[in-house]
Amino acid sequence: MLAKLYQSDWTLIYSNFHEFNLAYYLLAIPLVFILHDFYFYWTHRLLHTKWLFKKVHLIHHNSTNPTPLTSLAFHPIEAIIQGAFLPLVVMLIPLHVSVVIILVAGSYIYNVIGHLGYEFYPKGFPEHPFWGLFLTATHHSHHHKSTNFNFGLYFTFWDRLMDTTIPNYFGIFDAIVSPRETRGAG
């Protein structure tokens, strides 16, 4: 679909680096991830409304202990809702083709990381002023266990702003990581 939109000149995707300056290109990368996370956060919360959760999103939540394959398990309606972001953004914001590729690849990779079922970040990671802005496998795993919390995809700041971070997230994270670090020190 995206290729058809591009061929029909319906998108603002550009391939010549000289159409916009380097600063714009470098700013577009984090901006598009922040916009995607904002879109995902709110559509994800929408999918947690009673009817949509029961009829659509529950398929994804059948996995209470996520694995990387869980990131690919969802209802077709959810695929349409979540897949709508990319066509919308490229029709509204000029993006270099490589930024689009980075977004698609980054989205897939980060979705797999969120569903790993294994936490590889170190103790204290979510409390760090910068790194704590990024989601962890623990953050998303607990969304599958307690479905009223942790709706973000890449970042924790929407959950923090909307008070939807699971209570005691830092403690839960450290309790999961501590035994691993103790074994590794050993």
DSSP code at position 155: B
pLDDT at residue 180 is higher than 80: no
In this model, does residue 184 exceed pLDDT 50? Answer: no
Rounded to whole angstroms, the Cα distance separating 86 from 96 reads: 13
Which of these, 105, 98, 61, 57, lies nearest to 79 by C-alpha position?
Answer: 57
- Label residue 121 exposed, middle or buried (CB < 10 Å: 0-12, 13-18, 19+): buried
Region 123-129: what's the mean pLDDT? Answer: 95
pLDDT band (50, 70, 90) for residue 37: very high
Going from N- to C-terminal start, the domains of the chain cover 2-185
Query: Over the stretch 94-117, which tens digit does the pLDDT of each residue have?
Result: 999 999 999 999 999 999 988 988
Residue 183 has pLDDT above 80, yes or no: no
Q: What is the pLDDT of residues 137-177, one digit of tens each?
A: 999 988 888 889 999 999 999 999 999 999 999 999 999 89
What average pLDDT score do residues 69-86 get?
93
- pLDDT tens for 48-68 read 999 999 999 999 988 878 888
Q: Which two tokens stand for residue 14?
A: 């550009």
pLDDT of 69 above 90: no
pLDDT given for residue 41 in this prediction: 98
Q: Is the pLDDT of residue 75 over 90?
A: yes
pLDDT of residue 144: 86
Could you tell me the pTM of the whole model? 0.92
The strand ranges marked E within the chain are 13-14, 95-96
